[in-house]
Structure 1
Amino acid sequence: MLNALEIVTTVIVGVMVGVEFSVPAFSNPILNALPGDSGLRARVHGARLGGAVMPFWYIGSLVLVGVWAVAGWHRGAGLVVAAAGLLIVSVIMSLVVLVPINNRVKAWTTGDRPSDWKEQLNRWDRWHYVRVAVIIAAFALLVAALA
């Protein structure tokens, strides 16, 4: 049963990493290159969708990693505990920096947006790069723990 938990947890965290990595690597560059306000409208929609789904994914991943750490404590769970710590950092970063920006972006329309909207999107992007690096490191620790 522990093996199944380890695999399911690693896959769920890995898919989350892939989704989050694809945002700055592929989605945002494509959206930023669209003409007019098309890219902004798409990012507003993405903020709504991500704001609805990602909290469950992040917290769910953290819970699974925590269960793995407890269930596998007898086998040595140092890497899993470290991965959990990094996921906690990613959740804190999200709540303190990324979610407040995301909440503002969700409310924008093409006719009603602040004058510094590009700066706010760029700030979100920069912090998201850091969060992606943190969750990639957590994922790598989980993979190493499987080995």
Structure 2
Amino acid sequence: MHGFGILNALPEDSGQLGHAHGGRMLGAVMPVWYIGSLVLVAVWAIAGWHHHGTGLVVTAGALLILSVIMSLLLLVPINNRNKTWTPENRPEDWKEQINRWNRFHYVRVAVIIAAFALLIDALT
């Protein structure tokens, strides 16, 4: 079970409040993670341009860019709404919105895992 499943299993309003808090915390950290990862992959691709595996590094970079685009277009809008919700002001469809965020998140994680698998392959 992942962290979001644990939050969803909490009683009453605790799960939604946990999602909101996590959205605020991770919303501040994720830009650093994305920018740092993209910069490192770009440096790796440029430094090893004529070496074996550069195509894998470039493809991994493209997948990381895709994950950023997915985040900005699909996940951030939901997260921006969610992080302001309280039990008193959340919309009626808040559970559906969190479930939609979770589904997009799973796809984004799969894209990121594929990117890092390509980077590992490029090392070998």
Amino acid at match of 1:34: L
Q: Which residue of 1 aligns with 2:2?
A: 26
**C-alpha deviation, 1:58, in angstroms:** 1.1
Aligned length: 123
Q: Which residue of 2 aligns with 1:66?
A: 42
C-alpha distance in 1, partners of 2:31/2:86? 24
Q: List aligned pairs for 1:9-48, cutoff 5 A.
A: 25-48=1-24
SS of equivalent residue, structure 1 residue 39: helix
Give the alignment partner of residue 94 of structure 2, picking from 112, 117, 125.
Answer: 117
Runs of at least 4 residues of structure 1 off by over 3 A?
Answer: none
C-alpha distance in 2, partners of 1:96/1:82? 21
SS of equivalent residue, structure 1 residue 114: coil
Q: Which residue of 2 aligns with 1:53?
A: 29
Q: Quote the RMSD (CA, aligned, Å).
A: 0.8
Give the alignment partner of residue 108 of structure 2, picking from 109, 121, 131.
Answer: 131
**C-alpha deviation, 1:117, in angstroms:** 0.3
Amino acid at match of 1:50: L
Q: Which residue of 2 aligns with 1:78?
A: 55
Query: Gaps spanning 5+ residues in structure 1: where?
Result: 1-24
C-alpha distance in 2, partners of 1:50/1:142? 24
C-alpha distance in 2, partners of 1:55/1:119? 25
SS of equivalent residue, structure 2 residue 26: helix
Give a deviation string over 1:87-133, Cα, whole Å, max 9, x none.
00000000111001100001111211011100100110010010000
Q: Which residue of 2 aligns with 1:90?
A: 67
Query: Gaps spanning 5+ residues in structure 2: where?
Result: none
SS of equivalent residue, structure 2 residue 88: coil
